[in-house]
Chains A and B, each alone.
Chain A
Amino acid sequence: MTVMEQRGAYRPTPPPAWQPRTDPAPLLPDALPFRVLGTEAAAQADPGLLRRLYAELVRGRRYNAQATALTKQGRLAVYPSSTGQEACEVAAALVLQERDWLFPSYRDTLAAVARGLDPVQALTLLRGDWHTGYDPHEHRIAPLCTPLATQLPHAVGLAHAARLKGDDVVALALVGDGGTSEGDFHEALNFAAVWQAPVVFLVQNNGFAISVPLAKQTAAPSLAHKAVGYGMPGRLVDGNDAAAVHQVLSEAIAHARAGGGPTLVEAVTYRIDAHTNADDATRYRGDAEVETWRAHDPIALLERELTERGLLDDDGIRAAREDAETMAADLRERMNQDPVLDPMDLFAHVYAQPTTQLLEQEAQLKAELDAEADGPHHLGEGAGR
């Protein structure tokens, strides 16, 4: 019989002076996702904020639809839609002060746009004309990050550096449920907690990592539970309830700003569209499941709350939609113009001072471009000779 089998008999004596480092109880998430809309708590919510969230949700939904349409027209190489997740995207953008930083993943163009980034600049990565179409410092939005979870340690480092400099800055980092399995997720959370960095992690648990459901991703009770192991609070929120996401994130950010350290927030939501326009979601999920989530739509939830409380009428709804249409029309028009690219840009930003090797290659490309302009190529007239 092994020690483990001798149930009652196995009573290890604690080593001398052992005590838990932290009481885990206050760090644990609630059993059910926090909600505001449709509950008593909604009465406390600021009507101005709710209206603002509503307008942004409607814009966001339209933005997702327009960007997806642009893939069909060949104007975008790919688009990972956040339809169904707009409440998370919009709340993430609205909870931040101007001086704060957002660290988005590739799915979070909408958060960047809601934060004020020009929609065209937000899409250049996906159009394929440049990796980051904006100056991150200008908007305090890190480049949309494609390798999963690798932006999380950046957020921690930036928040830590800001605090070292005495600046009142918080970083908010977004990651998907699949991304929580990456090593960088672990390292980022661990560093954040050890350094008490003013950073908030928002996991948008939309049910799938491409085709892999959460059940195959983790055995944890919830993703928010993972926080406890790092010594930070974990919070579970209904990711389709914009008011709730806004409130939970606001609290986490205030906590971080006040020196309380990081928080891990899990927003339970659902990806209504496929992973990207290139994915066939019918291979891994059924219509019934999608319909259940459609019935819990973030825009419908907020619309109902606002109309029931007399904060929104048909005119207001129409105005929001018209505003969204204007944005979409502008986006469509500008995205339908061919971007003007300068091939010499390829060499412009590899190093502060180009190496002689790059200068040679730059000259080669220049010669190739000149030759291209001059007509067909003959053997022996190659560039660089």
Chain B
Amino acid sequence: MTTVAVKPATMAQALTRALRDAMAADPAVHVMGEDVGTLGGVFRVTDGLAKEFGEDRCTDTPLAEAGILGTAVGMAMYGLRPVVEMQFDAFAYPAFEQLISHVARMRNRTRGAMPLPITIRVPYGGGIGGVEHHSDSSEAYYMATPGLHVVTPATVADAYGLLRAAIASDDPVVFLEPKRLYWSKDSWNPDEPTAVEPIGRAVVRRSGRSATLITYGPSVPVCLEAAEAARAEGWDLEVVDLRSLVPFDDETVSASVRRTGRAVVVHESGGFGGPGGEIAARVTERCFHYLEAPVLRVAGFDIPYPPPMLERHHLPGVDRILDAVGRLQWEADS
């Protein structure tokens, strides 16, 4: 292990740095949304951008999500690369019509003549004690819409790399920012930003031999913790961080499951109709002969996001993951 001399940066700071570098590199990049200017966003991710690049490039818009995304469509039509901020997950819903009817399909309906390079940043997920409408995990809606890329970082370095890649992408990208990781730190050096990671590749965060935990975003640290805890029980768990839900990296995921023969998908959003069902089906289709047990899911309950005082019962935690891992001893139990 190398020792890191720099003071660690948070994920929020890495995101700010990514926006700043993207704006400096390309005058077409415009940041817009509610409170992104003077205030720097409610999570301060756009902090300082209006000052550095002017209010024409980092714009406080009227309070209207459909308007924010709808005007971004027109701006992208004219050659700009808008990066819009939806203030919170559940407040992106007014913009769904623009997202689904236009953003996702403009390239397709114009046969490639009118690509829309728009990045839609959505702080998402729970675990920060937010009141109602501040903790939704909406990734299944986005994943179900062809034409969108859907990515979500779990590390500080990925926050930087994936956001740069999203802004550089000629396709619209829904960039899901796990709120509860905004203040997480790791050894990423903000003075030497890491190379831009391509979108669409998963990464093995921890290698292991007895089962694969397939996860993303806010659940990655939870799975890593579970993997540590499982060691005591003799389980050597591999943790795959998807990083990108669309496109989906079947290759990395299948390779891992073929090695381990067992898999659990872990995410916060509800299980029914959720991303885990899709992932489990893909894994089963590709790895059936390698599987020692059914692919299991550990998800949030199928309930509207609970009030903050109860959210710890809803969010998949280490114990629930370990329970599932225990159930992977399929032959012994059945």
Contact = CB atoms under 8 A, between A and B. Distances in A.
Nearest to B80: A161
Contact of A351 (B74, B77, B149): B149
Interface stretch (B12-20, B65-73, B219-227): B65-73
A153 B66 contact: yes
A348 B112 CA distance: 8
A153 B70 CA distance: 5
Contacts of B82: 157
B115 to A, nearest CB: 6
Interface string B117-141: 0000000000000000000000000
B97 A150 contact: yes
Interface string A268-298: 0000000000000000000000000000000
Given A153-B98, A355-B246, A137 B113 contact: yes
Interface string A72-93: 0000000000000000000000
B78 interface: yes
Interface string B51-70: 00000100001101011011
Contacts of B39: none
A349 B108 contact: yes
A352 B74 contact: no
Interface pairs A-B: 4 shortest CB-CB:
A157-B74, A153-B70, A187-B67, A157-B71
Interface in A133-156: 135-138, 142-143, 147, 150, 152-156
A150 B246 contact: no
Interface stretch (A6-14, A44-52, A188-196, A324-332): A188-196
A357 interface: yes
11 contacts: A130-B111, A132-B109, A136-B114, A152-B70, A153-B69, A154-B73, A157-B71, A157-B78, A159-B74, A160-B75, A350-B147
A130 B146 CA distance: 17
B97 A345 contact: no
Interface residues of A, number: 42
B170 interface: yes
Given A132-B111, A184-B66, A150 B146 contact: no
Given A159-B74, A161-B78, A183 B66 contact: yes
A367 B27 CA distance: 45
A154 B112 contact: no
A385 interface: no
Given A138-B113, A153-B67, A153-B74, 20 more contacts: A130-B111, A147-B97, A147-B101, A150-B97, A150-B98, A150-B102, A157-B70, A160-B71, A164-B56, A164-B80, A183-B66, A184-B67, A184-B70, A187-B66, A191-B61, A191-B67, A345-B111, A351-B247, A352-B107, A355-B247
Given A187-B64, A191-B64, A355-B248, A135 B75 contact: no
Contacts of B107: 349-352
Interface residues of B, number: 48
Given A131-B109, A154-B102, A184-B70, A191 B114 contact: no
B79 interface: yes
Interface string A148-177: 001011111111111011000001000000
A356 interface: yes
A186 B63 CA distance: 12
Contacts of A161: 74-75, 77-80
B247 A154 contact: no
Contacts of A184: 66-67, 70, 97-98
A186 B94 CA distance: 13
B62 A158 contact: no
B143 to A, nearest CB: 11
B85 interface: no
Interface string B78-103: 11101000000000001001100110
B267 to A, nearest CB: 19
B251 interface: yes
